[in-house]
């Protein structure tokens, strides 16, 4: 594939907060510890080295979770975590069906590449890429579907609680539904076998996702961890208790939100007084304090303070971090240097630095993941025939149409030359009027404005008529834009990796890996032609 790069700002798809972070705007400096550049890692390594981690416990848990997975390089990387000179770089994501949207693939590849770049820069240390499975999330509607060839494949299920514990019953039928959609090629058969091995031979969604990610990326040493483990949560219990009983996360994050508001940035996440869920019997519900009691909403479960402290001591696995406390959990458990995330994730991490300082936990380098748009050969060919460049897809459909029309008509549907001539004529008229009376040129200016408006209106009519004569091409332009920016969002947030895998097979993953650079913060347009 041919790689074409465009600045993120030029796409019009990214928030001001995210772009300011990338550009290291001084106003945002209080909200992060390290700039997202490779030179930051020298200090980050020193800082993380000063924090104590239960490395043996971490390795024991991961090794146990890998007991049924055949991925030698990942196991070797896991064992490296026993060494004090080994650090992690981490990304996290939900357990999406068939990997979900494309950016899941990009996140993991960027994380793997970051570990490799750091090893070259700091050869005396080891760097392990981590995928932290968000197995405790419970928003099923976000992960239960996939979009392929304009078709939505959806897993209907009424289980509750943490997604990682969901039984994979019913996904086998979806795989059968996929078969006629994918066809009978070698690559299609590879995918069907991959999905069958993942979802029909593993009892829950966490195990299935671990297998799937290992099959796609295990050769690069990715290590997968499921944080839903009683032993790991015991390590985090003090922070869970402080969040519940002292509301420390709520207080510290709200202070950061007030400061962000002062410099004109919107919030990504609003903290709750208690940022912990209670996880039991296929339910994951918030804990709220009401009348000196700690109630689990939408249930009959209630504790007084002493009872809840005893419950945390006896059953730490029943306490589940939310989006505010999960980053603390990751950084408490892992000797982690960097978190790899998208714009929304970077935005909410920026809210948390004060909270991390309160808990004396190391705040990571926030490294934005890579952004990719894929143009298949058909779209690439159509754009070329229309006289459009790959980056033109970030224009509006109307702007793309205007550019196309200009490319085939030259200046025929524009009154630019006439405007220029009109401006010159009125400038001459104004100069003459000023010699007689300095108040007279304003009347000429008003007349120029009236005639310019008339020219604009005529130009629009002419353009509409030209578009009508080129309806087929204009229709193609709209279809192309809808394909690449469905619902006016980036392709990577909607489409799945399956169509690209059908064309390129395993080479799709390897080519992405060879193309992406974790410190190249531009959007990459990959064209097949």
Convert the pLDDT of each residue in 454-476 to its tens digit. Answer: 888 887 887 777 667 678 888 88
Rounded to whole angstroms, how far apart are CA atoms 514 and 529?
Answer: 18
Q: With 0.75 as the threshold, say if the pTM is over it.
A: yes
Q: Nearest 5°: CA angle at 450, between 444 and 452?
A: 100
Give me the torsion for CA of 435, 438, 444, 445, rounded to 10°. 130
277 three-state secondary structure = strand
The residue among 106, 178, 182, 98 whose CA lies nearest residue 145 is 98
pLDDT in tens, 257-306: 999 999 999 888 999 999 999 999 889 999 999 999 999 999 999 999 99
Count the Cβ atoms, other than its own, within 10 Å of residue 270: 12
Q: Cβ neighbours of residue 231 under 8 Å, at least 6 residues apart?
A: 57, 60, 61
Rounded to whole angstroms, how far apart are CA atoms 165 and 61?
Answer: 17
Rounded to whole angstroms, how far apart are CA atoms 446 and 433?
Answer: 14
Q: Cβ neighbours of residue 512 under 8 Å, at least 6 residues apart?
A: 105, 106, 109, 372
pLDDT band of residue 410 (cuts 50, 70, 90) is low
Q: Residue 409 has what pLDDT?
A: 63
Q: Cβ neighbours of residue 57 under 8 Å, at least 6 residues apart?
A: 231, 232, 235
Q: What are phi and psi of 181, to 5 degrees?
A: -70, -40
Rounded to whole angstroms, how far apart are CA atoms 281 and 376?
Answer: 46
pLDDT in tens, 142-173: 999 999 998 999 999 888 899 999 999 999 99
* pLDDT > 80? residue 412: no
Average pLDDT, the chain: 92
The residue among 65, 62, 95, 67 whose CA lies nearest residue 166 is 95
DSSP-derived secondary structure for 3-37:
EEEEEHHHHT-S-HHHHHHHTT-GGGGGG-SS-SS
pLDDT band of residue 236 (cuts 50, 70, 90) is very high
Q: Residue 441 has what pLDDT?
A: 76
Most trustworthy range by pLDDT among 373-387, 414-428, 511-525? 511-525
Higher pLDDT, 414 or 53: 53
One-letter-per-residue 3-state SS of 327-359: HHHHHHHCCEEEEEECHHHHHHHCCCHHHHHHH
Residue 158 class from Cβ within 10 Å (0-12 exposed, 13-18 middle, 19+ buried)? exposed
Q: Which of 99-108, 405-414, 491-500, 506-515 has the lowest mean pLDDT?
A: 405-414
Count the Cβ atoms, other than its own, within 10 Å of residue 481: 20
Q: Residue 179 has what pLDDT?
A: 95
Q: Tell me the β-bridge partners of 526.
A: 3, 374
Bridge pairing between strands 522-527 and 371-375 = parallel
Helices (H), 50-154: 55-65, 72-80, 103-121, 140-143
Buried b (16+ CB within 10 A) or exposed e, 335-355: bbbbbbbbbebbbbbbbbbbb
Q: Cβ neighbours of residue 290 under 8 Å, at least 6 residues apart?
A: none
Average of per-residue pLDDT across 522-526: 96
Strand order in the sheet with 336-341: 223-226, 126-133, 86-93, 336-341, 365-368
Rounded to whole angstroms, how far apart are CA atoms 152 and 33?
Answer: 41
Rounded to whole angstroms, how far apart are CA atoms 360 and 120?
Answer: 30
Taking only Cα atoms into account, the Rg of the chain, rounded to an integer number of angstroms, comes to 28
Report whether 12 contacts 524 (CB < 8 A).
Answer: no
Average of per-residue pLDDT across 29-50: 97
pLDDT band of residue 411 (cuts 50, 70, 90) is low
Q: Residue 152 has what pLDDT?
A: 93
**Domains of the chain as residue ranges with CATH:** 12-235+323-374+507-513 (3.40.50)
Higher pLDDT, 442 or 345: 345
Count the Cβ atoms, other than its own, within 10 Å of residue 24: 12
Bridge pairing between strands 86-93 and 126-133 = parallel
Q: What are phi and psi of 127, to 5 degrees?
A: -135, 120
Measure Cα distances from 65 to 86, 200, 227, 228, 353 in Å. Answer: 20, 18, 10, 11, 31
pLDDT band of residue 443 (cuts 50, 70, 90) is confident
What H or E segment, with its residue span, contains residue 223? Answer: strand 223-226
Count the Cβ atoms, other than its own, within 10 Å of residue 82: 12
Report whether 128 contacts 166 (CB < 8 A).
Answer: no
Rounded to whole angstroms, how far apart are CA atoms 341 and 8?
Answer: 15
Q: Residue 482 has what pLDDT?
A: 93
* pLDDT > 80? residue 96: yes
* pLDDT > 60? residue 141: yes
Q: Residue 529 has what pLDDT?
A: 63
Rounded to whole angstroms, how far apart are CA atoms 348 and 267?
Answer: 7
The residue among 127, 135, 104 whose CA lies nearest residue 216 is 104
Percent of the chain with pLDDT over 90: 78
Tokens read off for 323: 């989006």
Q: Which of 69-83, 213-227, 270-284 has the lowest mean pLDDT?
A: 69-83
Residue 499 class from Cβ within 10 Å (0-12 exposed, 13-18 middle, 19+ buried)? middle
Buried b (16+ CB within 10 A) or exposed e, 368-386: bbbbbbbbbeebbebbeeb
* pLDDT > 90? residue 512: yes
Q: Residue 431 has what pLDDT?
A: 84
């Amino acid at each position: 594939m041919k790689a074409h790069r465009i600045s993120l700002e030029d796409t019009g798809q990214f928030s001001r907060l995210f772009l300011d972070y990338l550009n290291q705007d001084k106003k945002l400096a209080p909200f992060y510890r390290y700039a997202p550049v490779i030179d930051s890692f020298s200090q980050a390594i020193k800082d993380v080295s000063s924090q104590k981690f239960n490395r043996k416990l971490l390795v024991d848990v991961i090794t146990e979770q890998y007991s049924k997975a055949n991925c030698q390089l990942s196991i070797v990387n896991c064992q490296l975590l026993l060494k004090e000179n080994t650090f992690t770089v981490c990304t996290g994501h939900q357990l999406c069906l068939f990997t979900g949207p494309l950016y899941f693939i990009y996140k993991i590849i960027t994380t793997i590449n970051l570990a490799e770049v750091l090893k070259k820069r700091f050869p005396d240390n080891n760097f392990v890429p981590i995928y932290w499975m968000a197995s405790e999330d419970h928003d099923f509607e976000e992960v239960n579907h996939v979009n392929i060839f304009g078709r939505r494949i959806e897993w209907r299920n009424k289980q509750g609680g943490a997604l990682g514990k969901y039984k994979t019953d019913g996904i086998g039928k979806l795989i059968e539904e996929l078969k006629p959609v994918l066809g009978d090629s070698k690559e299609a058969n590879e995918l069907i076998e991959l999905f069958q091995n993942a979802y029909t031979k593993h009892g829950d969604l966490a195990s299935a996702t671990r297998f799937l990610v290992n099959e796609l990326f295990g050769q690069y040493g990715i290590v997968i961890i499921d944080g839903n483990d009683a032993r790991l949560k015991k390590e985090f219990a003090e922070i869970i208790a402080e969040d519940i009983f002292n509301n420390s996360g709520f207080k510290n994050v709200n202070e950061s939100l007030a400061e962000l508001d002062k410099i004109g940035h919107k919030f990504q996440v609003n903290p709750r007084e208690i940022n912990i869920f209670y996880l039991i019997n296929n339910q994951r519900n918030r804990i709220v304090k009401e009348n000196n009691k700690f109630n689990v909403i939408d249930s009959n479960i209630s504790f007084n303070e002493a009872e809840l402290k005893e419950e945390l001591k006896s059953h730490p696995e029943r306490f589940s971090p939310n989006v505010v406390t999960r980053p603390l959990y990751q950084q408490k458990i892992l000797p982690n240097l960097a978190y790899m995330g998208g714009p929304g994730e970077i935005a909410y991490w920026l809210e948390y630095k004060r909270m991390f300082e309160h808990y004396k936990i190391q705040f990571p380098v926030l490294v934005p993941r890579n952004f990719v748009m894929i143009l298949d050969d058909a779209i690439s060919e159509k754009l070329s025939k229309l006289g459009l460049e790959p980056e033109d897809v970030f224009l509006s459909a109307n702007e793309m149409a205007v550019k196309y029309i200009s490319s085939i008509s030259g200046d025929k549907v524009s009154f630019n030359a006439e405007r220029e001539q009109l401006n010159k004529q009125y400038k001459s008229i104004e100069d003459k009027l000023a010699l007689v009376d300095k108040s007279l040129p304003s009347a000429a200016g008003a007349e120029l404005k009236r005639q310019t408006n008339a020219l604009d209106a005529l130009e629009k009519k002419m353009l509409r008529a030209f578009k009508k004569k080129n309806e087929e091409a204009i229709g193609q332009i709209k279809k192309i834009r809808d394909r690449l920016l469905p619902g006016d969002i980036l392709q990577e947030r909607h489409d799945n990796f399956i169509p690209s895998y059908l064309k390129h097979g395993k080479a799709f993953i390897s080519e992405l890996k060879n193309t992406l650079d974790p410190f190249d913060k531009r959007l990459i347009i990959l064209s097949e032609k």
